[in-house]
Structure 1
Amino acid sequence: MTDVIIMGAKGRMGATLANLALADPELNLVGVTERSRNIKELEALGCPVVEDLDNLLADAPGAVIVDFTSPESTMKMVETAGRRGNPAVIGTTGLDAAQQKQLAESANSQPLFWAPNMSVGVNVLLKMLPMLVQALGPAYDMEMVETHHRMKKDAPSGTALKLAQCLAEARGWEYDDVKNHCRDGIIGARPEEEIGVQTLRGGDVVGDHTMFFFGPGERIEVTHRAHSRETFAQGALRAAKWLAGQKPGKLYTMQDLF
């Protein structure tokens, strides 16, 4: 049985993770974190509920932390977990380049797993898209539209960025050199080396990503739609079980898990 700790258990993903962990016979929910004003609402989970992660880790050596919070909170968690030697599975999006570099460095001394999207379908797409890009060739323009619920704070989504980076790499491009996240006004003709990623926000959409391949006389669309947060939560808890048996030395991803 794997001991797990859920960060931000009152949030959308945190609540899903906590409930799924309780229902999984292979997991032992040994604690959750949440802001002090929400702690009483989580007492029904039947495990310690605290604001300070360090207080939990003192009594939970080796427990795997699962974190889908915010970049700032996640980086603080990694530092705290590093002092205790606890593994951590991270699904937080919106991490900047410096924070991603820090994660990779921290992974040399503690087991860390990070994936902006933990669904099986998206990660299969990441394997298949390069073959599609290379088979179609340079005559096809590549664009993407991503849609999420109105409360999502980062844009484009971490999944959209990962998918777009995959497309760029398949063409031999540096993504930062060809990305276009916003078009407005008289912008002129579309450059040949460009990937547009447009963002929609509204309602309670869990997550939709559509990649367009515009070619001469035809268009190909590849769409992934997440119908439930449980898709991501189940992937994260599967990663937690796997990470419990791993050693430090690299920043693990879904590709390592598969």
Structure 2
Amino acid sequence: MTKIGVIGAKGRMGQAIIVAIDDAGLVLAGGVDQGDDIAALAAQSDIMIDFSAPDALEGNLDACIAAGTPIIVGTTGLQERHHYLVDNASQTIAILQTGNTSLGVTLLSALVKQAAETLGPEWDIEIVETHHRHKVDAPSGTALLLGEAAAKGRNVDLAAVSDRGRDGITGARKEGDIGFASLRGGSVAGDHSVLLATEHEQITLSHRAENRALFARGAVKAAIWLKDKTAQRYAMSDVLGL
């Protein structure tokens, strides 16, 4: 029976993942939070799921490397340094890092990539995301994931074409830019829309999360899939074979 350890167990996502582990008939090896013994949990787990904080990632990865335990990294707000740490750790253990564990968002990402590749830069791309008032990072990890999909479809670097803030006299929209808008309020679990617009027509690709359970179920599905994989960096698209 697969034993899963949860990092960030007291958080909203951590609690939802614990429920999903039980629903799937798997074993909760334990849960840890800041100040707890992550190394001990990694040693007794078949796989770890991390929805904690970017500042904790390095220690979490070190514990999993020492134990030889694969890890799902669903923590958002990661910066370039964190991705370097994930790449480095993936030479030793299997890691699946994603900004969203939803199976629906994973499929949406593939559709966004296809649309961006097919339609070309004359179609403007805008990504709008809405989350609950407690979310601390913006744009959301999912919005960035969708932006990366669009950029990959156009074979460009997202950092070079990303437009994340408009205020005042900003001038006309630059062709090829990928725009982001972040809304915060209430208890919204996560709404994401990708608008592709050109002269006289628009396409909108959207996903609405009704509660955190869907992210938890996706994380557990990914954990089962990753458990026996070789050392490498994986994505949710690999779980669905996209």
Instruction: Tell me: CA distance 1:82–1:224, structure 2 relative to 1, closer, same or farther (3 Å).
Output: same
Match of 1:52 among 20, 31, 37: 37
Q: CA deviation at 1:201?
A: 0.9
Runs of 4+ in 1 over 6 A off after TM superposition: none
Q: Secondary structure at the match of 1:224?
A: strand
Partner of 2:33: 34
Partner of 2:14: 14
Partners of 1:226 and 1:83 lie apart in 2 by 36
Q: Secondary structure at the match of 2:205?
A: strand
Using the aligned pairs only, state the percent identity.
Answer: 37
Partners of 2:65 and 2:101 lie apart in 1 by 23
Q: Secondary structure at the match of 1:197?
A: strand
Partner of 2:110: 127
Instruction: Tell me, yes or no, if the aligned pair for 2:163 and 2:177 is still in contact at 8 Å.
Output: yes
1:105 to 2:88 alignment = yes
Match of 1:256 among 234, 238, 241: 238
Partners of 2:112 and 2:234 lie apart in 1 by 21
Instruction: Tell me, yes or no, if the aligned pair for 2:116 and 2:153 is still in contact at 8 Å.
Output: yes
Instruction: Tell me, yes or no, if the aligned pair for 2:108 and 2:205 is still in contact at 8 Å.
Output: no
Instruction: Tell me, yes or no, if the aligned pair for 2:121 and 2:176 is still in contact at 8 Å.
Output: no
Q: Deviations over 1:133-170 (max 9, x none)?
A: 23333332111111111111111011101111211222
Normalising by the residue count of structure 1, what TM-score does the alignment of the two structures yield? 0.88
Instruction: Tell me, yes or no, if the aligned pair for 2:112 and 2:205 is still in contact at 8 Å.
Output: no
Partners of 2:33 and 2:78 lie apart in 1 by 21
Matched residue count = 240
Partners of 1:136 and 1:30 lie apart in 2 by 47
Q: Secondary structure at the match of 2:63?
A: helix
Report which of the two structures shows the higher radius of gyration computed on alpha carbons: 1
Q: Secondary structure at the match of 2:48?
A: strand
Match of 1:224 among 207, 213, 219: 207
Q: CA deviation at 1:193?
A: 2.2
Gaps of 5+ in 1: 37-50
Partners of 1:35 and 1:107 lie apart in 2 by 23
Instruction: Tell me: CA distance 1:191–1:54, structure 2 relative to 1, closer, same or farther (3 Å).
Output: same
Partners of 1:131 and 1:247 lie apart in 2 by 29
Partner of 2:168: 185
Instruction: Tell me: CA distance 1:221–1:53, structure 2 relative to 1, closer, same or farther (3 Å).
Output: same
Gaps of 5+ in 2: none
Q: Deviations over 1:200-227 (max 9, x none)?
A: 1111111111111121112222111111
1:114 to 2:97 alignment = yes
Q: Secondary structure at the match of 1:186?
A: coil
Match of 1:94 among 44, 58, 77: 77
Paired AA for residue 28 in structure 1 = V
Q: Secondary structure at the match of 1:184?
A: coil
